[in-house]
Amino acid sequence: MIRGFFFLCGFGMAVSGGISILAYLNLIATGSSIVEFFKFILLRPECYLLPLGIGTVSWALFSLQKKKPTFREKD
């Protein structure tokens, strides 16, 4: 249940950060170079949500479960 919560939170963060980066791609159309674009992206805190979200989703998917699942005994 907790892993599902972290998965959904990470997914939301990754989507939010990815949309921010895509929105800032309009700076290239205004005449900025690729280098200036990446410098700008590195200074924007909302763009850090993409790698943070990807890391959270990865942790939620690949973390090991510590306790064994319990099964009902057969009658």
pLDDT digits (tens, 9 = 90+) for 25-71: 999 999 999 999 999 999 999 999 999 999 999 999 998 777 776 77
pTM of the model: 0.78
Residue bearing tokens 């942790």: 59
Return the higher-pLDDT residue of 56 and 73.
56
Q: What is the pLDDT of residue 75?
A: 56
Distance (Å) of CA 33 to CA 25, 37, 57, 63, 69: 11, 6, 32, 40, 54
